[in-house]
Amino acid sequence: MASGARARQREQTRRTLLREGRRLFATRGYGTVGLAEIVYAARVTKGALYHHFDSKAGLFRAVLEQVQQEVAQKVAATAEAHDDPWEQLTAGCRAFLTASTDPDVQQIMLIDGPAVLGWSEWRAMDESASAHHLAEALTSLTEAGAIAAQPVEPLTHLLSGAMNEAALWLATSTNPDDLADTWAALSRMLEALRRK
């Protein structure tokens, strides 16, 4: 087999492991899924899994990164659909809260993510996936005078923390009105920042 064909086969195996791992982690949760189940679903050997990932946690980390990137892309696309910087911020924040109510996203990103990887690593991954978009939006609004001049980094962390905490809470909520109520509360917080 030529090296190009081997590389394609390796990449296909990796994609299959990610797809099947994601499906199982999302539907059953990290703690109840075993490696044997993942490799069986992917139709590969444990050796093939270990070629790509050092452990079940390593596979989970890659799945979580994929989910976080997808959520960040949805948020950015929603924000960029607006011309007004304030509307970009609010649309992006709302898109994040909405995306975080997807059951697969909740299980992988919000329930298992912090539990499996630990808070510090989960938070670092979250920052690299989406916090820079929020910082850019806040910087633009501050420079335009829509928000009072202030250091953007602490404001980014405060808003990101509020949204992550709201998303974590929504992940355990059973009340369908909680998303609308959460958005209303966040919207009021954002409006308090806005210069009139």
Q: Which domains does the chain possess?
A: 1-53 (1.10.10.60), 56-193 (1.10.357.10)
Distance CA 53, CA 16 (A): 13
Mean pLDDT of 109-113: 93
Q: Please name the residues in contact with 181: beta carbons below 8 A apart, sequence gap of 6 or more.
A: none
Question: Tens digit of pLDDT for each residue in 11-32?
Answer: 999 999 999 999 999 999 999 9
pLDDT at 3 over 80: no
Q: Please name the residues in contact with 64: beta carbons below 8 A apart, sequence gap of 6 or more.
A: 108, 109, 112, 113, 116, 117, 122, 125
Closest CA to 122 of 83, 167, 75: 167
Do 86 and 142 touch, CB atoms closer than 8 A?
no
Question: Tens digit of pLDDT for each residue in 115-173?
Answer: 999 989 988 888 887 888 899 899 999 999 999 999 999 999 999 989 989 998 998 88
Do 107 and 29 touch, CB atoms closer than 8 A?
yes
Confidence of residue 6 (pLDDT cuts 50, 70, 90): confident
Residue 1 is predicted with a pLDDT of 57
Q: Percent of the chain at pLDDT above 90?
A: 76
Identify the weakest region by mean pLDDT among 67-71, 80-84, 156-160, 169-173.
169-173
CA 25 vs CA 110, 116, 184: distances in Å: 12, 12, 31
